[in-house]
Structure 1
């Protein structure tokens, strides 16, 4: 540490700012002194749209400055950095926690920082951006010129967008690692795939939920590439929850980019739009606007909340060219849940009329299955018959009495048995069950 950096530390900057491991992670990110990029600028614009703030930043902080990788709402000709001592970003580095200042002029943590006056900051809300190994690289924040509150849905959206920035950085890091070591490609693909799925599903009141992603090589088939099957389940507003199942065409880094875009866009938009059809429309717009790949995707999305006329849940379902959800009723019958909708492609114009919604209810003993076509297309290596939609429905009907996890285990065992242990495509499954 130089004498100047030591003085900074003694002058009140957190020691974490000068942690050698953190500074190495900042340098390894390759983000300092680079041009603005659409990926990060789009996330910043989305933060502005969600919060109504006139400025949004993604900053990367080394030991002396806070570099603005993205600075939406600022004069493009202005220098894209300020002194690390002047910026609230050093507080994110020091604590590793969000910083929400609804009145920046009176908030003891930041009111005396030069940036408050220089940028006319009345309110500031920021979240840490971290490297793949957990070091705080900088922050993702919005700035308002007036004092104002940030409501919980806005704070949740900002947290999601900051995680999306961190995920993009992790994706780039993994790609560099893959190029540097071809021998690690299979493990890397699995790591990348896992980063695109929630580590665990949240506890959902009144609903027994399970999900699983089964790679093609899980049953012995060759496969060392990232695929586009994904799912997510998250709380939106009040007592409402959102679930999505998606399938991006193809494999590889392009599929991973589209998957990441789909996940963070759906999470952000679902907090603003209660209609699943509207969320799919906004996702289609993001695909066409960002043009990160020509890959198309299919998706099934539903929102649900506790039923008002008895135990269970009520909800709305929308589809974008995805296999229909299946509902197994308490008596063992299975119904298809259909909603007409066009697949999502950056090569096709986004139109809200392309997506429709269907209402549904689950009562005690009922279960709803979302899945990708890897399970219905399971077949033996000698090109025997597909597992198929009818067989899937029959097997689902036989799972009455099983909990969500056991139901998914049974479905995959039967599909694998039908295919003789041969799996040529990845499969994702999610089940929502109301206990009897």
Structure 2
């Protein structure tokens, strides 16, 4: 650049003139040449569709001579059968109503076969608003159509993969459900002079739970029961569940004392899993001994939530078993024993902590032991099955706040039947 008072550099002025000349040459392309060699197709048609003008680009795509097209063919003659049908049913009516149509996908009969294009047309009118001709731009959509086809294939493949995955998931859930049922009694046996009911809630159909329970005879006069919760989920928890069930059954037949049965289970679990990843559980094991008009209960707990007794008078209280240790953690463990008497109309409830550790309300507050006791007191003392039915409804009310498996076992003595009084029927 020249400063004030400086003489312009002749070489610099020559470069500027040369650059201007290049730009001038580029800008001197005629409008006709720009029309003919445009990167898209152009054509103009009369209102009846007769082609009045067409550029070289579109002729090259079609593989046709200008003399065969102009004045001799209509725009629809360039289209495939499907393209003609779409033109008549959609494109032409839209153009007639709005005077323009933009980005319409059609197929033309190209030199190498069917060619996908995107067509935009606009009606040119006179100063009086009379339609004169239709100007149309045709864009090559082969790359776009190939991309869309590839995208569609990808979507179909993804959908097929999703369907296969969902089918595999359903089969897995069915297999897990069968395996889960094999870890629980198919039905509870009938205990003379007593009623029994149970329920098992699975938090996730994709995982095996570790909750378990059972009820079985020891001899002609006594029955054993247990309910427990294995730490963890999945196949490893299922293996511990199976081992715990069969160990407790065998231990009870050898020595039915609840503390001794849990001690045997503790020894088996600790010996089996202490050298690898630790596996343990919480369990309540007990013995029922029906007597004259009532049932004596002797049970022991290994780190499990306390059993709860619903009395015939509507009250409900926990049967404390403090100090019971987890089963399988230490080579020697202490277990807490307790005794109770079930009279007619009383029900003993055992449950796993999925019930009391459910989250409730918008603040996801822990449900807790006291809330459970209060709930039981609101339920009429109508026996184990009525209590289990009420608790099943309670579990359902937690919704997604119930994120752990829950096992329920209720054992009770039927209340004597009392005929309704005549004034109750009026």
TM-score range (shorter-chain normalised) is 0.5 to 0.7
Give the match for residue 93 of structure 2.
Answer: none
Going from structure 1 to structure 2, the CA distance change for 1:239 and 1:341 (only over 3 Å counts) comes to: farther
The alignment's C-alpha RMSD in Å is: 2.2
Q: What secondary structure does 2:254 align onto?
A: coil
Deviation at 1:340, TM superposition (A): 3.1
**Which structure 2 segments of 5+ residues have no match?**
1-167, 416-426
- Aligned positions of 1:111-190 closer than 5 A: 184-190=171-177
SS at match of 1:302: strand
Residue of structure 2 aligned with 1:204, choices 188, 191, 199: 191
| Total equivalences in the alignment | 248
Match of 1:431 in 2: 410
Match of 1:384 in 2: 364
What CA distance in whole angstroms lies between the structure 1 residues aligned with 2:351 and 2:323? 16
Q: Deviations over 1:307-360 (max 9, x none)?
A: 2xx301002110000000001111111121122344445441124xx0131111
- Cα 1:233–1:330 shift into 2, 3 Å: same
Assess if the C-alpha contact under 8 Å between 1:378 and 1:416 holds in 2: no
State how far apart, in whole Å, the 1-side matches of 2:220 and 2:258 are: 16
Asked whether the equivalents of residues 202 and 233 of structure 1 are also in contact (C-alpha less than 8 Å), the reply is yes
Residue 242 of structure 1: CA displacement?
0.7
Aligned-pair CA distance for 1:414: 2.4
Asked whether the equivalents of residues 296 and 343 of structure 1 are also in contact (C-alpha less than 8 Å), the reply is no
Aligned with residue 313 of structure 2, among 331, 338, 345? 331
Q: Is the 8 A contact 1:317 1:358 kept in 2?
A: yes
Q: Partners of 1:237 and 1:341 in 2: how far apart?
A: 30
Contact in 2 for aligned 1:187/1:224 (Cα 8 Å): no
Determine the structure 1 residue equivalent to 2:207. 225
Cα offset for 1:238? 3.1
Q: Does the Cα contact within 8 Å between 2:210 and 2:233 map onto a contact in 1?
A: yes
Structural mapping, 1:84-95, within 5 Å: none
User: Structure 1 stretches of 5 or more lacking a match?
Assistant: 1-180, 218-222
Aligned partners of 2:347 and 2:383 also within 8 Å: no
Runs (4+) off by over 4 Å: 380-383
Label 1:244 to 1:345 Cα distance change in 2 as closer, same or farther (>3 A).
Answer: closer
- Give, in angstroms, the shift of residue 382 of structure 1: 4.9
Deviation, 1:380, is 4.2
Partner in structure 1 of residue 283 of structure 2: 299
Question: Within the alignment, does 1:407 sit opposite 2:394 as a pair?
Answer: no
Choose from 368, 373, 377 the match for 2:348. Answer: 368
1:314 is matched with which residue? Answer: 296
Summarize the Cα distance change of 1:312–1:434 in structure 2 as closer, same or farther, 3 Å threshold. same
TM-score (norm 2): 0.55
Q: Indicate yes or no: 2:181 matched with 1:194.
A: yes
**Aligned partners of 1:324, 1:434: CA distance in 2, in Å?**
20
Counterpart for residue 331 of structure 2: 349
Given that 1:327 and 1:369 are in contact with CA atoms closer than 8 Å, whether structure 2 keeps it comes out as yes
Partners of 2:282 and 2:304 within 8 A in 1: yes
CA distance in 2, matches of 1:344, 1:422: 26
- CA distance in structure 2 between the aligned counterparts of 1:238 and 1:420, rounded to whole angstroms: 43
Look up the match of 1:263: 245
